[in-house]
Amino acid sequence: MPRRKKVVLVTGASGEMGHGLIQRLSQRTHFDILALDIKSLDERLAGICHDQIVGDVLDPRLLERLVSEFEIHAVFHLAALLSTRSEFTPETAHEVNVRGTLNLLKLAVEQSRWHGRQVLFLFPSSIAVYGLPDFETKSSAGAVKEDEFNVPTTMYGCNKLYAEHLGRYYAEHYRQLAVEQKKGIDFRCLRFPGIISAFTVPHGGTSDYGPEMLHAAAQGEAYDCFVRPDARIPFMAMPDAIEALLRLMEAPADHLTRHVYNVTSFSPTAQDFADRVRTAFAGAHISFVPDAKRQAIIDTWPAELDDSAARRDWGFSPSLDFDGSFDDYLVPNIRERYGLKR
Ligand code: AKB
């Protein structure tokens, strides 16, 4: 039988998180990286990957071809349509976010059976899985735990919550009526808050106002913030988000008490964000022009997350708080990126 190459598969590799992940992952795994995205990778990232495939997670032939050529030991399934974009095309979002995830879970469970080791499946979920019923509840809820308020109002939130359940099913109950009971996959999931990167600007999310106002200010552009000054959701800086994924990947299975973990770092209001951006970029022109409908989505997401399970089980501890994110990571790198003096 021809030998297949042993790889870690990263879907959505060209996206925001893929950019940050691939480099750090290459230093942390002995497997080669196989990147999959509908867009080709930039040259620097392509150079780090063993191989890149330009294609769609919805294409079953492509996935079959992958399996014939590669022995997949871990999957980082990052490909998704974010919350705002999903509201414009809910059925397409369902295809990508649910059908795409199902395709990858099936591939992972089949691979586990081929090579006899459970495939590790890392899945980024989101604060969008929460749906707080009204503003009063949001204000009084405090730090929300994983099993509270799981009543999302967005297509993206519904998709992510269901995909979490699919992951649990493929890990624990897949084909439970079969005569021969075999272990499924090793499904591990993080519920991320809004993420801010110095190197990329997100597209199609509802937490985008934070990174958008920062990158606009650095380029000397005026920015109309689409939420109210008092809008508050949790955020974290991209390096901490990547480190959380890698830490969870490396955590011994017997330390984990759940499949899905909250992670967070800081919870500023949009006004706090704007003030901090103005301190970093004097003269930044930020106005608040709330869009009632996008604000309504933010109002259903928690202001704070309880990440005590992640801290307890696998030592999650973000290294960048609000000030640290700006001073040590965002501002210096963004200044360099846009060619500004330090
Ligand atoms: C979005 O806004 O859709 C994402 C998320 C919070 O998952 N950034």
Domain range summary for the chain, segments of one domain joined by +: 80-195+236-265+305-320
Measured distance CA(160)–CA(36) in Å, rounded: 20
Q: Is 82 in the pocket of ligand 1 (CB under 6 A)?
A: yes
Helix (H, G, I), strand (E, B) or coil at 286: strand
Q: Is 338 a catalytic residue?
A: no
Query: Which of the 8 DSSP states describes residue 182?
Result: -
What is the CA(253)–ligand 1 centre distance, in A? 28
Q: Is 156 in the pocket of ligand 1 (CB under 6 A)?
A: yes
Query: Which of the 8 DSSP states describes residue 253?
Result: G
Print pLDDT tens along the chain (342 aa): 667 889 999 999 999 999 999 999 999 988 999 999 999 999 999 999 999 999 999 998 999 888 889 999 999 999 999 999 999 999 999 999 999 999 999 999 999 988 889 999 999 999 999 999 999 999 999 999 999 999 999 999 999 999 999 999 999 999 999 888 777 899 999 999 999 999 999 999 999 999 999 999 999 999 999 999 999 999 999 999 999 999 999 999 999 999 999 999 999 999 999 999 999 999 999 999 999 999 999 999 999 999 999 999 999 999 999 999 999 999 999 999 999 876
Give the CA radius of gyration of the chain: 20
Measured distance CA(257)–CA(243) in Å, rounded: 20
Nearest residue (by CA) to ligand 1, atom 6, is 194
- Taking the CA of residue 208 as reference, the ligand 1 atom at the shortest distance is 2
Best CATH choice for the domain 80-195+236-265+305-320 from the list 3.40.50.720, 3.40.50.970, 3.40.640.10, 3.10.180.10: 3.40.50.720
Residues 6+ apart with CB under 8 A from 22: 10, 13, 33, 35, 41, 45, 48, 49
